[in-house]
Amino acid sequence: AQSVAQPEDQVNVAEGNPLTVKCTYSVSGNPYLFWYVQYPNRGLQFLLKYITGDNLVKGSYGFEAEFNKSQTSFHLKKPSALVSDSALYFCAVRDGGTGGFKTIFGAGTRLFVKA
């Protein structure tokens, strides 16, 4: 069974500073990894994914994530945070090895970017 952990409930960062939102995962097969963002009273929006290939994945709005197989991590990063990045971020994992469709979401990390 797959699982995903987001160890921080909240991340605070000043505008212009780099940000990192952490995610670790567990799957029995090959991990398909995703990041989504949720703004207040909205649905989740897809940011980026890792399926295979380059460990550094670039996505929407200047976000990127690094897949680290040995640490089973997929941290979300951005070099320079914007106030408008403040939102709820979800990491998600699917077990690509089993060919299943079930995607499990982490508990979410709330990002606050202060001006």
Partner 1 sequence: DTAVSQTPKYLVTQMGNDKSIKCEQNLGHDTMYWYKQDSKKFLKIMFSYNNKELIINETVPNRFSPKSPDKAHLNLHINSLELGDSAVYFCASSREGGSGYTFGSGTRLTVV
> Which of 14-22, 63-71, 72-80, 93-101 is the region at the interface with partner 1 (rule: CB under 8 A)?
93-101
Interior CA angle at 66 toward 64 and 67, to 5°?
140
DSSP 28: S
Q: Is 104 in the site for partner 1 (CB under 8 A)?
A: yes
Q: Is 103 in the site for partner 1 (CB under 8 A)?
A: yes
- Measured CA to CA in angstroms, residue 88 lies from 14, 32, 35, 60, 70 at distances of 16, 21, 11, 15, 27
Indicate the residue among 33 and 81 with the shorter CB distance to partner 1: 33
Q: Which residues bind partner 1 (CB under 8 A)?
A: 32, 34, 36, 38, 41-46, 49, 51, 88, 90, 94, 96, 101-105, 107-108
